[in-house]
Amino acid sequence: MNKSSNLETEPLFLSACWCKPTSRTPVWIMRQAGRYLPEYRKIRSQVDFLTLTKTPELAAEVTLQPVRRFGIDAAILFSDIMTPVEGMGVKMEFNPGPVVTNPLRTASQIDALRIPDLNENAPFVAEAIKIIQKELPVSVPLIGFAGAPFTLFCYLVEGQGSKTFSQAKSFLFAEPQLSRMILEKLTDVMIEYLRGQAQAGAQALMIFDSWAGLLADEDYKAFAYPSVCRIIKSLGHLDIPLIYFPNQGATLLETVKDSGADVVGIDWRTSLSVARHVLGSDVAVQGNLDPMALFSSKEDLGSRIDNVLREGGPGPGHIFNLGHGIDKNTDPDRVAFLVERVRESSQKDLY
């Protein structure tokens, strides 16, 4: 961990990731570049989703939109967790979620998966990062990201999004060896993909394990966790914060605490005080307002925000965020209210 930077000049977000004291709690919002913003919808009305992710100027533009509108404390690259999977040789469409033309099921399909580096895999991602970094204020770090191998495995084997991912899970249990082969290849590719993002200029890296919560702890330990640990270990030398988000991971935190992640994202089900107690004071937490709370009255929303700040503190190492991606029907004015409230309240004595 890099704890040597100067407190005066280091961006708030990075200081909080390193569990260093900050003048207030930094805030950003999962899926902050997205459909709830009219300026995003305007661009999306002209290009489809895949084109948007693969056109560096446009991806950079939508990445910057919430920074301009809200003066938020971190930017996150606009992309999709499935982006680096295409370069492995997997054919997909977005309809509107990712649909895999030939879901992975056989050893020969798995053998055929390629392990490209970022430049071969998704050169447009490195280009987008460079454009973003030219425009981004120095106080606002850029987060790069990837899907966790188990979460990508779920999509690649199921073939599409699902409530239960029953195809993917039955494959996992019926074919543990083949499953491990897929997970290992995905791990190799995500290490290269994340490393490439850091080399292009990403100042923090986040691993989204959206479907970690499908697994009991015992199966998480057997299948999902080892690849997360390997990614974190392989990227430790980069000296930038590594954030891991085990979605719906309430029952996995005892395991996750040893992952080596600098920051753990917490969904809204687990209170931040419980998470901090389990994870210890060396690990920062990121979260965790229920995204649907943005539909409450401002009075309710304000007190919910203060509650999250109270649970996340006292003491350093809390990055305010939602507990899941923002809903597409959210009023952007509520987000402006949220950002302002976090700023104000986190400078008060809430205890």
By CB under 8 A, name the binding residues for a copy of itself.
161, 163-164, 166, 169-174, 176, 213, 215-219, 248, 250-251, 268-271, 274, 290, 292-293, 295-297, 300, 307, 323, 327, 329
For a copy of itself, which is the closer residue by CB, 176 or 314?
176
For a copy of itself, which is the closer residue by CB, 206 or 293?
293
Minimal distance, residue 324 CB to a copy of itself, in Å: 8
For a copy of itself, which is the closer residue by CB, 121 or 271?
271
For a copy of itself, which is the closer residue by CB, 125 or 326?
326
Structure tokens at 317: 């190492």
Minimal distance, residue 305 CB to a copy of itself, in Å: 13
From 36, 40, 73, 155, the catalytic residue: 155
Minimal distance, residue 64 CB to a copy of itself, in Å: 27
User: Phi/psi class of residue 281: alpha, beta or left (left: φ > 0; alpha: ψ in -120 to 50)?
Assistant: alpha
User: Is residue 286 helix, strand or coil?
Assistant: strand
Is 114 in the active site? Answer: no
From 24, 35, 334, 343, the catalytic residue: 35
Minimal distance, residue 251 CB to a copy of itself, in Å: 5
Q: Give the separation between CA 307 and CA 325, rounded to whole angstroms.
A: 19
For a copy of itself, which is the closer residue by CB, 161 or 226?
161
Q: Give the separation between CA 153 and CA 150, rounded to whole angstroms.
A: 5
DSSP 322-342: ESSPPPTT--HHHHHHHHHHH
| CB-based contacts of 194, cutoff 8 Å, min separation 6 | 144, 145, 146, 205, 207, 231, 235
Q: Which residue has the tokens 């292009």?
A: 200
Helix or strand run (H / E) with residue 111 = helix 107-111
- The alpha helices in 236-346, defined as continuous H runs, are 253-256, 272-279, 298-312, 332-345
Is 80 in the active site? Answer: yes
Minimal distance, residue 175 CB to a copy of itself, in Å: 9
Tell the burial category of 348 from Cβ atoms under 10 Å away from its Cβ (0-12, 13-18, 19+).
Answer: exposed
Is 24 in the active site? Answer: no
From 73, 80, 262, 267, the catalytic residue: 80
What amino acid positions are annotated as catalytic residues?
31, 35, 44, 80, 155
